[in-house]
Structure 1
């Protein structure tokens, strides 16, 4: 009796895992992650379709929409595959699955499920096929994912049902009007590339949604459940303990084998006090803090909110680190021709013939970037309802001036990232970005701040990043690197269980005001290793002393902070074998960087800033009245969020210091100590001033007593005399 055919598992070659574990990732490594994300996406989509079969809806049933998608995929497999793998499609699938599991809320379920009809219509427009579907309209608008938004002027407000037909790339949309009649409009959907600086004429644009090593096009023939894809949920949090640092940092082995760097117990002190002592031999160069280390969402924002175990397909094994075995692409049967059909190298946007006017069609704008292989088009996504991290949003159309400001800034940021270098941490090929989602502003006024105030990403939306636009190209470039690191790690977490996390928020994260869980620590360590590499490249390419000083500060600060968190992760004993291999790879990268020289003044400021952050964090979070138990500190019931104003303030050495912080950043600890003491005379328990006083005192009087103060600053009686 013949045996059942076994689906082929993903096998990640050791060299690709090693690249990713080091914090970097070549285009080949990123392409492998995208193939894995594709398999996961199709599994979740199959699960969703099965669950929607019995949903009562006034719209066309899911089976009809899926048939339209299948037909379009047979004609134009590349564009339809990219549509299904777009970040917003992943956000919709994950959100709707959470709705079905009762862990999310939103508009009526039939309306959200009806987004499948919008996807089908977008696919039909791309392929030039015919479709006839009943759709959900929001205030008379129908989003076409990857294309834009069709609108019926004068339509009835709220959620209504409309009728949409496509033929030859045109969309005919009708729906109820405010006066009780029926409105209709015909549009030819097309995106709108933003003009690149110094652009001469419109050129065809490469769809930046699929890597060069593209997976075979999805096909609907055959059950998706046959795909061998490990749906390991990363929900397993682990008990956390304050990250104490080992007495001495053991450099990771140079061998290729990903072996844990830190063995053995950690010391009682949770922070390397060398930050305020004499400069450590041969390294601890602080890391960057300029451009604005992005306040980001550390951790896959929505990737673990949906219990992937709901996927009814058998979760297959992922064999990571399979030595000397290349990565065969999994046998995913899902949407169209089984043959591998790479997307065309260049795809021109549909012509804007019969321009319907701005009131009936809002095109999706794309950021244009020219490469030797041709231009890239990266969606500047302000229309899709599932562009954010979870709940659906209404459109937030950018003004034309704001969209052009994004284009200019993006081109400058990408030029920075394109400077010569390898594939290591801090490097990012712009074609890997799948979407940029503007946050918080739709116009150019008030002027954008120099730093990125908000950025975030989601494991459900590979390659997308939500960003509040800064005015600085360096800040945007740093944020692009930071958020793409989150995407890579989220993809790895979908493949392998990396740690056992109980989600207890009890660990110190040097870039956060609050305690974090282990998954958040892992995301932060991975993201900031990339940020550290970004600033290392800026230091190497600095054209003058000032630029070298600023880049050196950020490089030194972030390498020190990232290594501290890596030490915590290794010491906790909660990593799986793959997780330990990954974190050990980060340790090797950071250990090498800690030996690299940095301008002395920048290194000193970085160490001081690192000590200040940890000291203030403990003063604001840790309860001094509770003895620290073996499983970590106990936290104050009255703790609140607080702004970290020092990390960026210490990036540049003040020329004419006035405040206590400025004197400390300038290297005058005595003047800083006196000013902090003056502030504490009015409020002896004020955490910001008390943290400054403790660190300034430790700089002036290094020794056992000050090391104890730095280790447990919350125990200090707030009665300093100065």
Structure 2
């Protein structure tokens, strides 16, 4: 699809300083398989290779610009010293160097630091510390290749991190420091007298080897570093290490084992793709009861920041969700799907903020995979879990359909972008006719409508076509710092379906707070529509501007057939999707 037909990518393990990466091409068949959800691995292989090529080009550009930056070395030797060590390591063990350069945080560091050198990004971290990450990359590659060296490297917050190798504690005097690292036959020490380990693969009081989870189901192996130390492990600004306890690591391994079994058993094609994906898990604080808090970015394809799971099903769903983000991020760098210009933003049913076209497309692709996950899962789960699986399927397919109506004919799509969007639309259209349990369909419709109405009320300055409102709103309008989350009703629907006993206990103690969930919302989800209506009306008498109460009351009145739900717009909402009585089918 890109500049011709498919061809073999060739050997990508080239010295970062020598030669150019091979040209890659994505066939039309492989391109279409990404939209249709039928990729057997051909498209993904090309995408991952393109990311590896891009990373080497980023490294070369970073070296060139870093050389020219005034004062960029600080207390470290020039970047060329680290580069030379990287070449020596690659000459001895190219596979080991390849593994270090493929480490997702390396890509994020390279892109972020290059943006800083080009004046496109700012950081309070000294430039020599950020550039010095190259020294730690070279040191890590040399350790893995068995090359002895002496090299000054940066230390952040008194922790030395060697990507893919491990991290060690060093008693430095300052937040940003440089130490001279000695490596000799596996032994590491920070000069003059700070031994780290006698073997980089073994833990000591001052050294922690990199932790990698490895799980096997039916002979299919999934490996994923569990990264808690690398400063570039998250998509936000460089992050301090947050050491995982051994018990927490065991829980992660247990959850990943269960999730992998689900994927291998139910989604063998996607599981096979995941085995070849540069996957990395970076734990976030907190533990969600239902859907996990997760995030990823295109500069670190394969890296997933996520909260600790307490259910393997949610982890399995999240892995497929994030795999789609990774593939689309790589695809967008190979194929021009969008015109590179600012454009109007729109309503993404899974987000509280207006989204640009690129963000909309990412969400559509990811949540289409979520819909597929629950479409398949609902056929194999127990009868008790079936209604919840139906709810998740109906919710996701309805969200994707609503978002696609805004995107499919968007003027900023290129010819390839229109072809891709048409493929996505064919896939979701095939889902819309599938029946779901009445209660599941009704609750999915309720969740979507409640979110949409509240979003429209909050962003009331926006035009009906999804375009921007006044310039003052764009600069710092009602969505700049939302006071409460908009998806509270969705979470209540999940609780109702998964644990009605807990729902009723918590509903009896519910009070109106700023968390986004009102006492009346509990009654709405439980089907107590008249008491919910009275609760919303009472709130509006006390505060006529309460967007949450307005949205809830609209949903109640629509369900009670007293009036149609407001804030409808045929450009965004399909006609005939208003809330109905709980006895009617709202399958979405």
TM-score, structure 2 as length reference: 0.82
Residues 300-333 of structure 1 show CA distances to partners (whole Å, capped at 9, x for unaligned) of: xxxxxxxxxxxxxxxxxxxxxxxxxxxxxxxxxx
- For CA contacts below 8 A with separation 6 or more, give which structure has more relative contact order: 1
What's 1:522 paired with? 361
Distance 2:79 2:463 in 1: 58
What's 1:684 paired with? 544
Distance 2:374 2:198 in 1: 45
What's 1:510 paired with? 349
Structure-to-structure mapping, 1:55-74, within 5 angstroms: 55=69, 56=71, 57=73, 58-74=75-91
Distance 2:64 2:453 in 1: 52
Determine which of 383, 404, 421 is the counterpart of 1:566.
Answer: 404
Distance 1:501 1:700 in 2: 46
Structure-to-structure mapping, 1:463-478, within 5 angstroms: 463-478=302-317
Alpha-carbon contact 1:96-1:113 (below 8 Å) kept: yes
Residues 381-403 of structure 1 show CA distances to partners (whole Å, capped at 9, x for unaligned) of: 01112112143222111122222
Q: How many residue pairs get matched? A: 524
Distance 2:457 2:196 in 1: 62
**Partner SS state of residue 368, structure 1:** strand
**Shift in Å, 1:97:** 0.4
Alpha-carbon contact 1:428-1:481 (below 8 Å) kept: no
What's 2:388 paired with? 550
**Shift in Å, 1:647:** 1.1
Determine which of 224, 233, 240 is the counterpart of 1:387.
Answer: 233
Structure-to-structure mapping, 1:29-428, within 5 angstroms: 29-55=43-69, 56=71, 57=73, 58-102=75-119, 103-152=121-170, 154-174=171-191, 182-185=192-195, 187-190=197-200, 350=201, 352=202, 357-358=204-205, 360-373=206-219, 375-421=221-267, 423=269
Alpha-carbon contact 2:21-2:53 (below 8 Å) kept: no
**Shift in Å, 1:499:** 1.3
Distance 1:118 1:632 in 2: 45
**Shift in Å, 1:67:** 1.6
**Shift in Å, 1:430:** 5.2
Alpha-carbon contact 2:554-2:566 (below 8 Å) kept: no
Residues 241-263 of structure 1 show CA distances to partners (whole Å, capped at 9, x for unaligned) of: xxxxxxxxxxxxxxxxxxxxxxx
Distance 1:527 1:590 in 2: 12
Distance 2:261 2:466 in 1: 49
Query: Larger helix proportion, structure 1 or 2?
Result: 2
Alpha-carbon contact 2:344-2:466 (below 8 Å) kept: no
Alpha-carbon contact 2:321-2:370 (below 8 Å) kept: yes
Alpha-carbon contact 1:529-1:590 (below 8 Å) kept: yes
Alpha-carbon contact 2:140-2:163 (below 8 Å) kept: yes
Alpha-carbon contact 1:504-1:517 (below 8 Å) kept: yes
**Shift in Å, 1:25:** 3.4
Alpha-carbon contact 1:438-1:466 (below 8 Å) kept: yes
TM-score, structure 1 as length reference: 0.68
Alpha-carbon contact 1:412-1:473 (below 8 Å) kept: yes
2:284 equivalent to 1:439: yes
Distance 2:284 2:258 in 1: 19
Structure-to-structure mapping, 1:446-461, within 5 angstroms: 448-452=287-291, 454-461=293-300
What's 2:564 paired with? 706
Distance 2:369 2:408 in 1: 19
Q: Runs of 5+ in structure 2 lacking a partner? A: 1-18, 509-518, 571-588
